Amino acid sequence: MKNMFARAFVLAVTFAALASTAAVALPEYPADLFLPSTSCGCHGGLVAQWEQTMHSKALTDPLYLYKLEQANADTDGAIGPFCESCHGAVAMMAGEFATGEFSPQGGEGVTCSLCHQITGREEGRIGNNAIVVEPDGTMRAQFDDAVSSFHPTAYSEFHTSAEFCGSCHNVYHPVNGLDLESTYTEWAASPYADEGITCQDCHMTPGPGVTKPNPGVAAAGGPEREHIYTMTFAGANVGLGDAVLAEERLQAAAKVELETPEIVEGGSTVPAVVRITNIGAGHYLPTGLTDVRRMWLEVVATGPDGQETLIGKREFHTVFSDADGNSPADVWNAVAVESDDRIPPRESVENVWDAAMPAEGPLTISATLYYRSCSEEFAEAAGVEIPTTTMASVTHAVYTSSEEAAAATRAVPGAQSGNGLLLGILIAGLVVIVGILVFFGLRSRTS
């Protein structure tokens, strides 16, 4: 009872403060200072890419809408404008959330003419959508020689920087300042920042990884360029984003290694060392909304009879707690991080798990890393299908004796004929080499 009162009190203070602070820093601008993506006809290829992205779906995304509803219900509507200002800046500046009537551009979430009229960021902490927008019709990007008869163009160094993305990809609690999403900060502390590899290089190239140069034409009738970026913003959202691109990125993000002995005595313990390395993500793995994302390792031992035993599991995500110490807390109630188990860029985590060796082998041990954008319960509540993706998997067989191992190798017909073929090629090769040596040996002796 006392706790409940304390919690209600803290929340009241929190959200009263929110209502009076400038949680939404954006100025007011009419929607017609922005264009819908349908008017970017000269950039047809880029428009088709962007349509598949989470940026284009930022306001219609069922997972977002479900969380927004919960957040508003929990805070008497105080938090909604904070969410909407970042997921739908154009509609926010045009006052469309107040009327509920959306212009085409306002309903497009993070749209072309928003990003290309951003000129910089506010001084201070990077994040919480502290972007500076100058909707004067000039489209800004990385080229200093772009010419268009439809709109003025300008070179923008800001667009080539990770800070451009960081303005929205760092989210902290608008009242208590707690870091809720820190993708930019994670990147800035990573070796990728030192090497000058930006968000754009991984998320706006054909990839996975950095695919530069990517030659092409940025606009119909424009010059052939050495390198253009794609408007794909491919991440990890297999269920709602571009499934093919998201899957490719997830499968390039991590390496899973497994070490086991090959032969152990029946009845003894088999140590399985599992190491996961974040080889492909320029930030922690996973990143972003990591209280919602699900990434986990399962280590399974399968006996000769097909019986499976889960011998190890590790979940990689963030758990927040609220003012009463309850967890998991939703981001809007979060006051502290209770736990945060994720993998920094280019770093590894390692665990040793034990399996019981049966009297007779083989015992097959597999280590598999999985990812889902959210839990099954959340997906079901929001009415969407979110698949589980296998990011990486390794399997080893363990035997009780070298005879058992040899028998198992022989039992695999592919392995045997493969080895036979290889041996044949080796022998043929040797015969040819010896033949050549003998031939030249004889020749040099006769001459």
Nearest approach in angstroms of CB 395 to ligand HEC is 23
Report the C-alpha gap between 8 and 176 in whole angstroms. 16
Query: Contact at 8 Å (CB) between 295 and 286?
Result: yes
Residue 425 tokens read as: 């090629």
Nearest approach in angstroms of CB 277 to ligand HEC is 13
Report the C-alpha gap between 239 and 388 in whole angstroms. 9
Nearest approach in angstroms of CB 234 to ligand HEC is 6
Query: Contact at 8 Å (CB) between 380 and 342?
Result: no
Alpha-carbon distance values, 294 to 24, 187, 424 (Å): 30, 20, 49
Nearest approach in angstroms of CB 370 to ligand HEC is 12
Closer Cβ to ligand HEC, 180 or 264, answer by number: 180
CA 365 to chain centre: 27
Letter for the amino acid at 314? R
Residue 433 tokens read as: 């080499």
Closer Cβ to ligand HEC, 54 or 91, answer by number: 54
Query: Contact at 8 Å (CB) between 285 and 349?
Result: no
Q: Is the dihedral of CA 99, 100, 102, 108 positive or negative?
A: positive
Nearest approach in angstroms of CB 175 to ligand HEC is 12
Q: Is the dihedral of CA 207, 209, 215, 221 positive or negative?
A: positive
Nearest approach in angstroms of CB 361 to ligand HEC is 36
Report the C-alpha gap between 342 and 365 in whole angstroms. 24
Closer Cβ to ligand HEC, 15 or 164, answer by number: 164
Closer Cβ to ligand HEC, 22 or 411, answer by number: 22
Closer Cβ to ligand HEC, 231 or 367, answer by number: 231
Closest residue to ligand HEC, Cβ-based?
288
Decide: residue 305, CB within 10 A, 0-12 exposed, 13-18 middle, 19+ buried. exposed
Nearest approach in angstroms of CB 442 to ligand HEC is 59
Closer Cβ to ligand HEC, 229 or 399, answer by number: 229
Nearest approach in angstroms of CB 209 to ligand HEC is 7
How many CB atoms are closer than 10 A to CB 434? Answer: 11
Closer Cβ to ligand HEC, 272 or 379, answer by number: 379
Decide: residue 83, CB within 10 A, 0-12 exposed, 13-18 middle, 19+ buried. buried
Nearest approach in angstroms of CB 229 to ligand HEC is 4
Letter for the amino acid at 35? L
Closer Cβ to ligand HEC, 183 or 364, answer by number: 183
Report the C-alpha gap between 109 and 113 in whole angstroms. 11
